[in-house]
Structure 1
């Protein structure tokens, strides 16, 4: 049986059928490219509008820089502060204030109302504050605590400036190389910012006790985003998270050194399984993005 020869009309329909998926694919990619900026700018606009409404209503923000409030507001937390009626404050209320004779802002809990109408405050990990607060000293009541968000607020200007610089560099890079270049520069920007501000791993010593046998005991509080393990040289170890308190003891030192009462500790991050998963995913993300883009390009190509 002799196969039928392809007519020009048949060949034209076949070519059109091959071109149709390619045209649809290009149209879909075109829509995605134009939709993504709108989604990004729309989200930023909503965030900016919410922040403006909060500020216009008297709300303010404060970033926690010391560990005095323990796990309630660890270092790096972002506090949402709302104006409040001074007479309505009760023990346990979390407030932000500027104490008399100081220009520093503190955020502690109300401990008691004094007979003269002033209030006393203290932190969870600190003794009663030495001042008595009046209405003009109080800036507001803390209504929300976003743990870790204060670090983002601190690093935000550097990240934003870096993002603008990356966007400018992208304009001078050919289209096919923009994705890997963006990933490379973005990773470098994030690494440099984290290295400079050091938000991940930290601990602060709260107390130190020297024992008669030459050993020493130290109490620490976590000040980073990641939980850490603190190991005393020749002694025990303890794991603490942000705002958590732990104590380690270093055993007695060798002969001739017992009068020094030294306490040397090592601080190391403790990574959960999902942190490792994120790290591994980040390492493979450039290859995955490149493979996806290459596959999309092949499917979008016009068949001969």
Structure 2
């Protein structure tokens, strides 16, 4: 058996040529991470805050899972129609509601889909800030980080001992599984909440609001249904209430072709990555 020295040299040059590209990608990714951390720290140090919307009270203006960014303002700068974040007088979680009226130096607030104003005015020392940005769905991403970051790190660590030929494949399977675990735990995609039920003359009116990222169809056993986007409210008049007045509701994804295309594209990302990596290895 003979060995072609030129072939070995060509292979060595090929491997060496790939190293600078990998190094550049690593440096670029590191720079992006550091830039993101610097921007977040700068925002926080200058008084800005980021808050998660966990209840549907703001309807479509800030659905569940929205990440809101606030800047500190004086109470006198607040105007009717502004969305502000504030601490209730009795404590508890921070509220993000719209200013409904300003009277006598007092600021009153109300959730967009709530039937009444909040029972207390907002005092200056309780004002967290005015909402300057609303990032739809991004709070779900933030909530998933305690699951995704350790999970991906564990997959990466465990696969470092795998044979090189299986390492990439194992990561392409393991990382999507971690993402699926986060989705199963948080349930951000398909969901709706029952706001209230009102029974009269043998019928029950159920008021529901979409609280998931994807459009859904909410239906009762009578076949009465409503299609909801995130934060959208609908009423279902049903004759299928049980003895306690509750209406059993089913919730299913109900998406347009565009939504299905986006979801299919996201599901195909691991396949596309594997094909791209396979082509690169082959060349």
TM-score (norm 1): 0.83
- Paired with 2:269 and 2:132, the residues of 1 have a C-alpha distance of 38
| Greater relative CO, 1 or 2 (CA 8 Å, sep 6+) | 1
- Over 3 Å counting, the alpha-carbon distance change for 1:21 and 1:65 in structure 2 is same
Q: Give the unaligned 5+ runs of structure 1.
A: 1-11, 300-304
CA positional deviation for 1:20: 8.6
Aligned residues: 279
In the alignment, what sits opposite 2:260?
Answer: 276
Equivalent runs, 1:1-304 vs 2, <5 Å:
25-115=14-104, 117-126=105-114, 127-212=116-201, 214-250=202-238, 252=239, 261-281=245-265, 284-299=268-283
- Over 3 Å counting, the alpha-carbon distance change for 1:84 and 1:175 in structure 2 is same
Deviating beyond 6 angstroms after TM superposition, the runs of 4 or more aligned structure 1 residues are 18-21, 257-260
The structure with the largest alpha-carbon Rg is 1
Q: What does the per-residue CA deviation read over 1:11-49, in whole Å, with 9 as the maximum and x for residues that have no partner?
A: x9xx96x88976665444323322221121111111111
CA positional deviation for 1:152: 0.9
Q: Give the unaligned 5+ runs of structure 2.
A: none
- Between 218-227 and 23-32, report the one with greater CA deviation: 23-32
- Paired with 2:242 and 2:160, the residues of 1 have a C-alpha distance of 65
For 1:62, what is the secondary structure of its paired residue?
Answer: strand
For 1:129, what is the secondary structure of its paired residue?
Answer: coil
For 2:60, what is the secondary structure of its paired residue?
Answer: coil
- Paired with 1:264 and 1:296, the residues of 2 have a C-alpha distance of 53
* Contact kept in structure 1, 2:197 and 2:246, CA below 8 Å: no
- Between 229-238 and 67-76, report the one with greater CA deviation: 229-238
TM-score (norm 2): 0.89
- Paired with 2:78 and 2:112, the residues of 1 have a C-alpha distance of 18
* Contact kept in structure 2, 1:232 and 1:264, CA below 8 Å: yes
CA positional deviation for 1:208: 1.5
- Paired with 1:282 and 1:85, the residues of 2 have a C-alpha distance of 43
- Paired with 1:170 and 1:221, the residues of 2 have a C-alpha distance of 43
- Over 3 Å counting, the alpha-carbon distance change for 1:288 and 1:130 in structure 2 is closer
- Calculate the aligned-residue CA RMSD, in Å: 2.5
- Paired with 1:152 and 1:287, the residues of 2 have a C-alpha distance of 22
- Paired with 1:128 and 1:175, the residues of 2 have a C-alpha distance of 62
- Paired with 2:282 and 2:224, the residues of 1 have a C-alpha distance of 59
- Paired with 1:275 and 1:186, the residues of 2 have a C-alpha distance of 23
* Contact kept in structure 1, 2:172 and 2:270, CA below 8 Å: yes
